[in-house]
Amino acid sequence: MNLYDAHAHLQDAELVPHYARVFCDLAAVGVKRVVTNGSSEADWPAVAALAAEHPVVLPSFGLHPWDAGNRSPAWQENLLAHLDAHPGAAVGEIGLDRWILTRAKPGDPRLAGLRRAPIEEQTEVFLWQFALAAERNLPSTIHCVDAHGLLHDLLRAAKRPARGFLLHSYGGSTEMVASLAKLGAYFSFNANFLDARRARLREVYATVPADRLLVETDAPSIRPPAAQEEFTLPATADGRHVNHPANLTATYAALADLRGTTVEALTPQVEKNFLRLFGS
């Protein structure tokens, strides 16, 4: 079976010690492409290096809203240089995140040392990158937390890529799905929605049009619940869990279940959707 991971961060340090095993397992379960998102200027070179070594890696370069506040004065030239050097690369991970400004716990280690850009600044950084994707008709990946109303307004007003764009791990309302799909959105499901506390968010994916569905791991983040975790990796030295990207199989299975279909029927549909948006 041909599986496609629409959103991961294979360049992340947590996975580096396990590359031999990870790439072997990905091939064994039939994963054909993994969109590997750079999220800051610091990790774009690692994404490029990994793509050069592993054809399964589809490189993507973008400035994530968490990293927007720490961008260098040359970030735009730097991004353009990476995209020019990698024809077929995507733009991402880009987006909007109000959670870091209003709901994140003060000591969250993932945010340590980051200057958190206010939402107006995040908007400016997002719109510049989205305009670039529109102008070049590149695939792009949008992260959105606690800002779906604003994102919807911005997308409606913006020039959008003719090929569409991905709302990764979409956590907005069911009511917005049809309108976002009309604007060109694809929606990717991940193991975050397998948690029992996220049943309401999970149900949204039963309503996404079949031709706009994608599947992702967000690895090394978001391990599936233990009962569904087929591939395990050791935790990091400081005790953080690491999601093995081959757990994509569990996410396909859960999505098929949610949609009342089989993995065999879902897989070719997701393949078509992936190739339409990200190209081959």
- Chain residues binding Zn ion by CB under 5 A are 93
In whole angstroms, how close is the CB of 93 to Zn ion at the nearest point?
Answer: 5
Rank residues 8 and 56 by Cβ distance to Zn ion and give the closer one.
Answer: 8
Q: What tokens appear for 244 in the block? A: 């093995």
In whole angstroms, how close is the CB of 142 to Zn ion at the nearest point?
Answer: 10
Q: What tokens appear for 214 in the block? A: 């994608």
Q: Which long-range contacts (CB under 8 A, 24 or more apart) does 193-198 make?
A: 193/169, 193/254, 194/224, 194/225, 194/228, 194/250, 194/251, 194/254, 195/225
Quote the CA–CA distance of 100 and 206 in Å, as a whole number.
28
Rank residues 14 and 93 by Cβ distance to Zn ion and give the closer one.
Answer: 93
- 134 phi/psi in degrees, rounded to 5: -70, -45
In whole angstroms, how close is the CB of 167 to Zn ion at the nearest point?
Answer: 12
Rank residues 67 and 93 by Cβ distance to Zn ion and give the closer one.
Answer: 93
In whole angstroms, how close is the CB of 7 to Zn ion at the nearest point?
Answer: 6
In whole angstroms, how close is the CB of 117 to Zn ion at the nearest point?
Answer: 17
Rank residues 22 and 259 by Cβ distance to Zn ion and give the closer one.
Answer: 22
Rank residues 90 and 259 by Cβ distance to Zn ion and give the closer one.
Answer: 90
Instruction: Show the DSSP H helices in the chain as ranges.
Output: 19-29, 44-53, 75-85, 99-102, 119-136, 148-157, 177-183, 199-203, 248-258, 263-278
